[in-house]
Amino acid sequence: MDRSKFPEIVDGKSQYDLDSGRFVKIWNGPQHPGVTGNMALEVVISGDEVVDLKTHVGYLHRGFEKLMEQRLYIQNFPLVCRICVPEPDTNEYLYAAAVEELSGLEVPERAQWLRTLTLEMSRLASFIMWLGGQAGSFGMGTVGQWAVAVRDYVLDLFEAITGGRIYHMYITPGGVRDILPEGFDADLEDVLKKVEKFMHDAEIVLFHNAVFKKRTKGLGIITPDMIDPYGILGPNARAAGSTRDVRKDSPYAVYDKLEFNVIVGSDSDAYDRARCRFQEMQQSIELIRQIMEIMPRKGSFYNRPPNVLHWQIPPGETYVKAESTRGEYGYYVVSDGSNKPRRVYVKGPSYTHAVALFEQMAVGTNYADLPGLMVSLHTYPPEIER
Amino acid sequence: MKSTENKIIHPLENAGVPEDQRHLYCDASPRPYPALNKYVERFLNWARANSLWILGYGTGCGAIELRPLLTSRFDISQYGMNPRPTPRQSSVFIIGGYLSVKTLKRVIRSYEQMQNPKFVVGLGSCTVNGGMYWDSYNTVNRLDYYLPVDVYVAGCMPRPEAIIAGFEKLKSTIMAGQAEGANEYAERFDWYKSNQKKIIKDWDMPDYNW
Amino acid sequence: MGLKDIISPFYVWKRALEKPFTHPSPLTTRPGSDRYRGFHQNDMHKCIGCGSCETICQNAAIDLVHVDGIETTEADSGLRPKIDYGRCCWCGLCVDICTTASLTMSNEYTWVDADPEVYRFIPGADEKSWNDTDKGYRRAEGYNLLETERVDMDMTLGDDGIKSFMEVIHGYTKEQAMAEAMRCVECGVCVATCPAHMDIPDYIKAIREDRLEDALELLYRTNPMPATCGRICTHRCETVCALGHQGDPVAIRWLKRYIIDQFPAEKAIAQLEQEFEDNGLKVAIIGAGPAGLSAAYYLVRLGYNVTVYESQNKAGGMIRYGVPYYRMPEDIMDDEVTVIEKMGVILKTGIKIGRDLLFEKLMHDNNAVLMATGFESPYELSIPGEHHSRVISGIDMLDDIANGKSVEVGNVVAVIGGGNVAFDAARTARRLGADVCIYYRRRIEDMPADSEEIHEAQAEGVKIIVQSIPVHIEDNNGSPRMIWNRAEMVDQGPGKRPKPVLIQGASETADVDTIITAIGQASDYDYIPESMSGRIHFNKTRVATERLGQTAETKVFAAGDIVNSRGDAISAIADGYRAAKGIDAYLTTKKGEK
Amino acid sequence: MNSLIKRLKMQFDVEEQTQRSNLSFINATALQLPALLTHLRDYEKYTQLIFLTAVDRIEDNQFQLTYMLADESSQNNIGVRVRIDRENAVMTSIAHLWHHARTYQQELREMFGIDFPGSPGVNDNFILEGWEEIPPMRRDFDTREYSEKTYFPRPGRSTTHPRTAMKAVDPDYPELPLMKGRVK
């Protein structure tokens, strides 16, 4: 983008002069309805054009990585899901996978299927919520109302399987904690139908909405040459033509046994990103149906690790990754042979999207589009600061 | 509301803001509001209880369950509540669980900017005794050290239904004239302030953000 | 962008005609799902207060507290979890780890209060609306954080076993021991139950961490005969083990044996402290069984000069002479005694007090005397014909075998009794080549013998006939013929154990070559001189003592089987410890008086 | 992956450790790191920087920095490990290679106290605000102790260990070990 008309940048900082009267500095957030979650944007505008933007994070910092060093391996499994509130299962899966890899613990086939099922369900729930947010950020609250209600149906399913609505704490090192409850198949199909109906409605009122099209087309373009220098991942990158999808590139759980295509866009603006995510929702529904069809219904779903109170894991380090709704999610776990992890580093995809990328992209956009642009990058603050 | 003795209110120092800007800020502590005539008060409490407007600030995980609560599935408006985007229009502050020190600073600011009557609802274990972040270096353990809390809701996270139950409890507390958090904050202002300042090391805002 | 894009948003209006998303009364009509992780429930009577929930809770949300109406007993710490909902995150790990499966979660989720101090409660004890809810999170079948099965022990059983007197139980290998040690949750409920209060969780931890020297040190702190206990202990610790509620208890006895197996006498001696301050006082101990040896060991550590007198040729008492080699090999017993001797205990064997040395002399020469003579005279059957030459007592037979004498039992042997001696005698007879049948008056579950012994004996081909009472023994051309009668169990009312009563007419006959009786033993107090007899009181067949073993004659103490009715090695060892403590207290006070 | 390692070994002084078929770690020196990363990015198609983080190896008085890269296809990962001194920890910035490296370096500066001279805004607050203690992710920072003295946990809790409670069962529960004055 052409930045020549904006103030000069020295040492990463824009040299605007507030006293000149040409610029106004506005704080969006942390208490602001237009920011996703608890974070803040320090925006400098000239007219209604954004001249400089700085993301402030850390409002949700709980020191997870430090806390995990203080706790036994098993004790961390309830902790990790809190790192990403709207889509906790990816965290649960990755932590379990990393621990299993380091300790050499095998996971039963059936558990892998159940894991994949919950992972896809949580992707679906997360996308639904994002869709509501995306519509809401452009003033279309109706879709937002629908979306949250429909997502709640998926949460009801989670409640039935795992016993928790938000924090499922279902995927544990060694497998999963329980099998599907009786009558789940019918409930699931019922909910999927509701989701499909919602998507059908949303398609008409959102993607064929003149206002939505007008405001999102051409907004926040990510060019393919930005992908690697900015570390862009997931649908944000795929809408710009990248074909990377961890589920396909390095299949985990049972993704290698499922049939699906990587969804790729071309226009790489906010509209196209929305479109890509919308298709990924459809894909998720399809995958859930596939899983339910071929999933084994018998057999063990849990391999017990050694007594979890004394469980020590041999020294080593590993990096495991999975595809969340925002892109590649990763856990880097270092063990030193003791009963507590030496270091757990959680790489959330929002980390780069919300800070480095967004600060760059926001410059030049209309101030009113800022919330919409932010949602179109699909960022969840807690995974940035952890 | 209960009556309080008239105290001599000393002006606030506002040492956190630059000297040349101090005159811009309020230097008065908050003032408790004594109860009025019994019947007037009863009427006012009824009115207060039935028009609770929630400040839309998701301070922690709890915010995730506010969305279903505020939208069509659980539809909080059927209980006479409504989200507002600014503290000036709100009367209920929902603390969604843990508070990091950085957020606490903003929460105090928002809370102090809210107009009376105002109430605080603490969601989840974290507000009671630190919850699962009990040994974290960045989250407070006891919310009541920093803000007066009127109702706590147990859970992690509390479900929307539990939050509604919390609001019902809040309403009955208000009706009974016992939701005196704002007055307590005014009465024990120095205590709250010193607790807040103890953990917010870079206090660069006025002492009372009115 | 066309006209369609402008019109299509109005499609939302159609929802006005559809069923609303809104739940009309979410407060009352939406219970948590069947698996919902809501507020905790605890079955107060199942819970044993082991504290595993507290250990696993990453939020430090659980405290163990005393609850009114719950007593501390041998199998229950009397504590119950108290949960702080200012900490809990409803992860349910406490439910997953619960050793008794008493802790569960209901599907109740609403608890609001203005007071933050109320969010602490004791599930099950405090009155809560969800106490009896049967929905909520339970551990799923097939999901258990704890290993319920113990590591199998290698044994030589069946036909191979009875070929020789080689030890049946092989002992754990390092891997097996480590795996078994992993199972322990370190609650410590067992420590109180063990008569000697051994540091069980600590030595299991030491095994797990492969600190065997520390483990040995821990063993010898509370038990001078760990090799004995590692083999033949009645392991009451295992009966209260927290893991025993949902599966096999931790194999505490075998883990102890694993430790001591790694330390032959010289190695063990090298590890242990051996020199203690001499205080110049002398103590004589009569009987080198577990009680006597244990008292000697502790007294030496306290600085006393201790002499132990034993009538048999070797020390060990019933352990050496009453337990067959396939359970307690001779060399292990020798090692055990060597270690104790090495600590400074003077051992004088082959000296029978009252015959070779007078009790009065002991009294005169020593500052205190401890009687630990044990029960070694067999009870008689008290039925006609029992003085037949082929009716022998089990204890005498085991004694003879241990002394290297040859014993002939013939081809068919009947053993009468259901205790450990009966089984030892039966299994010994099997090894001598006989077909053996045990006759016991009550049911299998009433047998005082260890369940392992019963199991192993059956695996070796010992037959067991329960509810059978011998009534008469006849001579049949030199061999005994036993006439026995079937019995039925008659309920004696609550709290009393059922009594076997003969069934009229259900009498049967067994022709055997030898009858071995093993229905219990009594003590022989002949060595106590006339002059003393009035000053030592008896309680039926046992010596009456104070708590720490002191008899009415203050200088004389008693320990072991002659004092306590439990009759097992570990109780005798604990008794020895108590007597040592008593003697020390007595002599210290006396010294102070002078 | 193997051939890549071979090629790297020819040019750089590195040690390699394979974790699984699509993940390897290589140990490099701080001095050669920028060149190594540039090489990997420009010639070996390891174009993505997934993350940069540190592990406090306090026992060696060192920090381990891990640069996780992924290749173009996103199939293979390579983690480049570098050890630097824990005292006055300084490392070369790689913000010129990837824009988002700036944020990682800012975080490491704050959480571990590792300086990256020249990285834009490296000294600005990122997550913490008004932090006065040693950087919290360092191993020698005790978060529990800090929390207890700063945030006042709610008082009034006490617990009993089952072993202590069970002493009530037997009045002669031994005080161990039963031994008086030792002699050497």
Contacts of D150 in chain B (CB under 8 A): 137, 198-199
Closest alpha carbon to A68 in A99, A93, A89: A99
CB contact under 8 A, C33 and A213: no
Q: What are the residue boundaries of the structural domains of chain D, listed by start?
A: 2-129
Residues 70-89 of B with CB under 8 A from A: 71-73, 85, 87
Å from B195 to nearest chain D CA?
A: 9
CB contact under 8 A, C85 and B128: yes
B68 at A interface, C-beta within 8 A: yes
Q: Which residues pair with C194 in a beta bridge?
A: none
Whole-number Cα distances in Å, B68 to A162, A383, B121, B160, C88: 19, 22, 17, 7, 23
pLDDT of residue D182: 43
pTM value surpassing 0.80: yes
- Nearest chain D residue to C295 by CA distance is D178
CB contact under 8 A, C275 and D183: yes
Chain centroid, CA C407 distance in Å: 32
CB contact under 8 A, D163 and C63: no
Question: Is B12 within a domain?
Answer: no
- C158-270 belongs to CATH 1.10.1060.10: yes
| SS3 per-residue string spanning chain A | CCCCCCCCEECCEECCCHHHCCCEEEEECCCCCCCCCCCEEEEEEECCEEEEEEEECCCCCCCHHHHHHHCCCHHHHHHHHHHCCCCHHHHHHHHHHHHHHHHCCCCCHHHHHHHHHHHHHHHHHHHHHHHHHHHHHCCCHHHHHHHHHHHHHHHHHHHHHHCCCCCCCCEECCEECCCCCCCHHHHHHHHHHHHHHHHHHHHHHHHCCHHHHHHHCCCCCCCHHHCCCCCCCHHHHHCCCCCCCHHHHCCCCCHHHCCCCCCCCCCCCHHHHHHHHHHHHHHHHHHHHHHHHHCCCCCCCECCCCCCCCCCCCCEEEEEEEEECCEEEEEEEEECCCCCEEEEEEECCHHHHHHHHHHHHHCCCEHHHHHHHHHHCCCCCHHHHC
What are A126's two structure tokens?
């997360």
Q: Could you say which architecture CATH assigns to the domain A64-348?
A: Orthogonal Bundle (1.10)
Chains linked to D by 3 or more Cβ pairs within 8 Å: A, B, C
DSSP for D156-177, please give it: ------HHHHGGGG-TT---S-
Of B80-84, C363-367, C389-393, C530-534, which gets the smallest average pLDDT?
Answer: C530-534
Contacts of B127 in chain C (CB under 8 A): 116
Does C132 score more than 90 pLDDT?
no
What are C89's two structure tokens?
């995150």
pLDDT tier at C577 (50, 70, 90 boundaries)?
A: confident
| Angle of helix B189-199 versus helix B101-113 axis, rounded to 10 | 150
DSSP for C420-466, please give it: HHHHHHHHHHHHTT-EEEEEESS-GGG--S-HHHHHHHHHTT-EEEE
CB contact under 8 A, C193 and D181: no
Question: Is B127 within a domain?
Answer: yes
Asked if domains C28-143 and C278-375+532-593 share a fold, the reply is: no
pLDDT of residue C377: 79
**Region A217-222: what's the mean pLDDT?**
86
pLDDT of residue D175: 57
Residues 54-83 of A with CB under 8 A from C: 71-72, 74-79
CA-angle at C431, arms to C427 and C436, nearest 5°: 55
pLDDT tens column, B155-179: 888 888 888 999 989 999 988 888 8
* Least CB–CB distance from B142: residue in D127, D148, D152: D152
CB atoms within 10 A of CB C209: 14
Does A332 score more than 90 pLDDT?
yes
Contacts of C21 in chain A (CB under 8 A): 145-146, 149-150
Q: Which residues of D touch B (CB under 8 A)?
A: 127-133, 136, 141, 143-144, 146-148, 150-154
Q: Are A27 and A43 in contact (CB under 8 A)?
A: yes
Q: Phi and psi (nearest 5°) for C114?
A: -85, -20
CB pairs under 8 A between B and D: 51
Contacts of C96 in chain A (CB under 8 A): 177
pLDDT of residue D181: 44
CA torsion, points C493, C494, C496, C502, in degrees to nearest 10?
30
Contacts of C121 in chain B (CB under 8 A): none
Question: Is B14 within a domain?
Answer: no
- Amino acid letter, residue C543: V
Q: What are the residue boundaries of the structural domains of chain C, listed by start?
A: 28-143, 158-270, 278-375+532-593, 378-521
CB atoms within 10 A of CB C126: 12
Q: Are A340 and A72 in contact (CB under 8 A)?
A: yes
Q: Are C231 and C572 in contact (CB under 8 A)?
A: no
CB contact under 8 A, A309 and C33: no
Please count the structural domains in chain B: 1
Q: Are C183 and C146 in contact (CB under 8 A)?
A: yes
**Region A169-184: what's the mean pLDDT?**
90
CB contact under 8 A, D79 and A317: yes
Contacts of C191 in chain D (CB under 8 A): 163, 166
**Region C260-273: what's the mean pLDDT?**
82
List, in sequence order, every beta strand (DSSP E) within C374-423: 377-378, 391-393, 412-416
pLDDT tens column, A67-80: 999 899 999 988 89
Measured distance CA(A150)–CA(B143) in Å, rounded: 33
pLDDT tier at A191 (50, 70, 90 boundaries)?
A: very high
**Region C103-127: what's the mean pLDDT?**
88
- Residue owning tokens 């913000």: D95
Q: Are B155 and B124 in contact (CB under 8 A)?
A: yes
Residues 129-148 of B with CB under 8 A from C: 129-132, 134-135, 142-144
pLDDT of residue A1: 56
Q: Are strands C479-490 and C368-371 parallel, antiparallel or unpaired?
A: unpaired
pLDDT tier at A186 (50, 70, 90 boundaries)?
A: very high
The residue segments making up the domain with residue B41 are 19-199
Contacts of D165 in chain C (CB under 8 A): 49, 64, 66, 72, 77-79
Q: Are strands D15-20 and D23-28 parallel, antiparallel or unpaired?
A: antiparallel
Residues 74-113 of C with CB under 8 A from B: 84-90, 109-113
Coil, strand or helix at D90: strand
* Least CB–CB distance from A60: residue in B57, B60, B68: B60
- Amino acid letter, residue C174: K
A26 at C interface, C-beta within 8 A: no
Chains linked to A by 3 or more Cβ pairs within 8 Å: B, C, D
pLDDT tens column, C429-441: 888 888 899 999 8
Average pLDDT per block of 10 residues along chain D, 184 residues long: 80 82 88 89 88 91 91 86 90 88 89 88 85 88 88 83 79 56 41
Q: Are C48 and C71 in contact (CB under 8 A)?
A: no
Q: Are C426 and C462 in contact (CB under 8 A)?
A: yes
Measured distance CA(A370)–CA(A361) in Å, rounded: 10
Overall residue count recorded for chain D in this entry: 184
Contacts of B122 in chain C (CB under 8 A): 116
Q: Are C136 and C32 in contact (CB under 8 A)?
A: yes
pLDDT of residue D174: 59
Measured distance CA(D166)–CA(C201) in Å, rounded: 14
Q: Are strands D62-70 and D48-57 parallel, antiparallel or unpaired?
A: antiparallel
Measured distance CA(A143)–CA(A133) in Å, rounded: 9
Q: Are C82 and C63 in contact (CB under 8 A)?
A: yes
Please give the CATH superfamily to which domain C378-521 belongs.
FAD/NAD(P)-binding domain (3.50.50.60)
Does B3 score more than 50 pLDDT?
no
Closest alpha carbon to B155 in B134, B132, B175: B132
- Nearest chain D residue to C62 by CA distance is D159
pLDDT tens column, B76-92: 888 888 888 888 888 99
CATH number of the domain where residue B131 is located: 3.40.50.12280
* Least CB–CB distance from C9: residue in A76, A164, A205: A205
Q: What are the residue boundaries of the structural domains of chain A, listed by start?
A: 64-348
Å from A298 to nearest chain D CA?
A: 30
B133 at A interface, C-beta within 8 A: yes
Average pLDDT value over all residues in chain C? 85
Measured distance CA(B130)–CA(B136) in Å, rounded: 9
CA torsion, points C315, C318, C321, C324, in degrees to nearest 10?
-130
Measured distance CA(C443)–CA(C40) in Å, rounded: 41
Residues 31-60 of B with CB under 8 A from A: 55-60
What are C555's two structure tokens?
């200088």
What are D49's two structure tokens?
């920087």
Measured distance CA(B36)–CA(C309) in Å, rounded: 95
pLDDT tens column, A94-147: 999 999 999 999 999 999 999 999 999 999 999 999 998 888 888 888 888 889
Å from C37 to nearest chain A CA?
A: 5
Give me the CATH code for the C278-375+532-593 domain, please: 3.50.50.60
| Angle of helix A184-202 versus helix A109-137 axis, rounded to 10 | 30
pLDDT tens column, C297-352: 888 888 888 899 988 888 888 888 888 888 888 888 888 888 888 888 888 888 88
Quick one: chain B helix, strand, coil %, rounded to 5?
Answer: 45, 10, 45
Closest alpha carbon to A282 in A384, A362, A202, A220: A202
Whole-number Cα distances in Å, A127 to A7, A93, A156, A204, A263: 37, 18, 16, 17, 14
What are B11's two structure tokens?
């002006």
Residues in contact with C346: Cβ distance below 8 Å, sequence separation at least 6, in sequence order: C305, C306, C307, C308
Chains linked to C by 3 or more Cβ pairs within 8 Å: A, B, D
CB contact under 8 A, C86 and B128: yes
CA-angle at C395, arms to C394 and C401, nearest 5°: 90
Of A369-373, C165-169, D27-31, which gets the smallest average pLDDT?
Answer: C165-169
pLDDT of residue B84: 86
Whole-number Cα distances in Å, C503 to C27, C107, C488, D26: 66, 55, 6, 84
Chain centroid, CA C45 distance in Å: 22
Give me the CATH code for the D2-129 domain, please: 3.30.460.80
pLDDT of residue D184: 35
Measured distance CA(C44)–CA(C71) in Å, rounded: 11
- Nearest chain B residue to A144 by CA distance is B71
